[in-house]
Every structure is written in C-alpha cells, then in structure tokens.
Structure 1
Amino acid sequence: MSDFNPGIMIGVFSLLVLAVIASILFISKSLGGFGRRFDKEQPFECGLLPSGTTKHNFSISYYLIAVAFLIFELEAAILFAWGVDYWQLGIPGVIAGVTFLVILLLGFIYMIRKGVFQIGVYES
C-alpha cells in the first residue's frame, strides 16, 4: 500500500504533535498575559467586586455519599458486562457474580449501619 517505514511515520507524527503543543503554549503565553500581578480588589471575569470569602465548608457526608455513588456506579458497569456474557460463563461465572454482589451488599450494609446516608450525622 505504501513504501513508508512505520518508524519514520511515528517520528514524523511525534514531531508534528510536539510542534502543535509548542505553538499552543507559545500562543497562550503571548496572549494570556502570564506573569502579570493582579490586584485582589479588581473585578474578575464578571465585572463585580469580590465579596465575602471563597471558602465553603462541606460536611463529610457529602464526600461519603459521592464515594458510595462511584462504587455502585462501577458495580452497575461491571454487572452489565457480566450479564452480557452470562450464558457463556457457566457455573464459575455465576459464583463469581454472586460473590461480587455479596461483597458489595456487605459494604452497603456497613455504610447504612455507620449512618453514611443520614443527613447531618457527619457535620464538620
């Protein structure tokens, strides 16, 4: 199909990528004004003077619920893949799937017993 050596093509592509990255960084630095000091009392983006503090305190239960959501969201993705190949997996696949669900169920029961899903338990 072509007489090009794959190593040469990879090298040309790598040089092209490096050139694009360097040009993006150069344009960003020249147009963005990096290195300038800004007064904290100047308006930023919206044109309004800053008021109050930017520090927001979240309770730990927010993070615990977020981690629980991630765990059970990944569980759904894994179980979907398991369900697609359910008939080809046989008895060992069923045992592995049930073991996976039991471990997650035990973790869910632990979280319920610790009160992760009760609002106001973990206030900071």
Structure 2
Amino acid sequence: MSFWQAVSSAKSVASVELAATAVNPLAGEPSNTQQLIEQLWPIAVYFVLLMVLLAIMLGLSYALGPKTRRRHTHTPYESGIVAADAPKSRFTNHFFLYAIFFVIFDLETIFLFAWVIAFDDVGIAGFIEASIFIGILLVALIYVWRIGALQLKHKHLPAREQLRISAAQANAGAHNNDHQQPRNQQPQTNKAGH
C-alpha cells in the first residue's frame, strides 16, 4: 500500500465517521446541533478576529504611547494652539435638530427596508400599513419643513450681539429715566433748600 492510498483510505474512514456523528440516525438528516454550528461559525470567527484586532491595537497604543505623565497630558488638544482665555460666545445648537431628524428618519428607513424584504409575504395588508407609515413620514417632513427647522439660518442673534443690544437698551433706559419726569411734578429739590 502506497502513501497516497493510505492517506485516501484514512480520509474516507474519517469522512464516514464524521458523517455518522453528524447524521441523525432516525431522520437521516444532519442534527440540529450540526446545523447550528454551520450557521454560527462565521459569527464566532468574526468575534475572535475582533478580539485579536482589539488586543493588537491596545498593545500597540501602550507600547508606542508616551510613558511619562506631564502637566499637559490630560488637557484637550485643539490644533496645537494654546487657548488664550475662556470662550466668551456661545455656540447655537441649531445642528442638534439635524441630528435628531437624521436619527428619526433613518430609523424609519430601516423599517421600510424590512418591509421591502417581506413584501411578497405581507400581501395587500402590509402594503396598506406601509403606505400609512410613509404618509405619516411625509406629514412629519412637511411639518418640519413648514416650521423652518430645515433652513440653515439662525433664528436668533448670536449671544454677543444679544448682549450688546440689551446693554444698549439698558443704558438708554437709565438715561431716559434720569431726564424724563412726569409733567405734573416739580423737580425734586434738596430739603436743605439748595
């Protein structure tokens, strides 16, 4: 018996043993455990590779990173420019609306993808439900558009401009209160007669 014949006979014996353990003797089909392993092994490989990649990145970061702690180690880094003083103007949160609208409409798009995949199974009832869902989305989009939330312009003045205007109004009000007196009253004089 040659080497290759021995290898092929060993392969056939191993394949028969593997088939005998994987086949349910009553049904003649692969067992549920074997089917589950065949379906889940890509996910297990993915998580193993993910953990290996994570360990590599953390190890490289630790090995190549700075070893000493200095005064500015934990301070925020921004373009390498040292901040001269604290920021005095406030930033608007106008882009917060865009983030919220994106999340809302993006999640609803995911529901629509699920509906498209099951389009043949859900029939006319599913089509009517999806049409109502799309109609509600369109009404919400029209409402958001009508209130002006999709416009990229500020509805309020910047904080610095608001402070300047309020200070000017306060100064003008104080100045007007000093010089304006009711018509029926005489100017107040000092009780000492001056």
Instruction: State the TM-score, normalized to the length of structure 1.
Output: 0.55
- Quick check: which has more Rg, 1 or 2? 2
2:95 aligns with one of 62, 70, 75: 62
Report deviation, 1:79: 0.6
- Deviations along 1:68-100, whole A, 9 cap, x unmatched? 111111121111111000111011111110111
Identity of aligned residues (%): 32
2:154 aligns with one of 112, 120, 123: 120
Report deviation, 1:49: 7.6
Task: Show structure 1 runs of 5+ residues with no match.
Answer: 1-37
For 1:91, the equivalent position in structure 2 comes to: 124
Count of residues paired in the alignment: 108
> How large is the Cα RMSD of the aligned pairs?
4.2
- Contact 1:60–1:122 (CA<8 Å) still a contact in 2? no
The DSSP-based 3-state class of the residue aligned with 2:154 is: coil
- Contact 1:61–1:117 (CA<8 Å) still a contact in 2? no
Change (3 A) 1:77 1:123: farther
Q: How does 1:1-124 map to 2 (within 5 A)?
A: 50-52=82-84, 57-118=90-151, 119-121=153-155
Change (3 A) 1:66 1:49: closer
Task: Show structure 2 runs of 5+ residues with no match.
Answer: 1-70, 159-194
Change (3 A) 1:53 1:87: farther
- Work out which structure has the larger RCO, using CA pairs closer than 8 Å and 6 or more positions apart in sequence: 1
Instruction: State the TM-score, normalized to the length of structure 2.
Output: 0.39
Amino acid across the alignment from 1:70 = V
Change (3 A) 1:51 1:104: same
Q: Measure, in 2, the Cα distance between the counterparts of 1:111 and 1:45.
A: 35
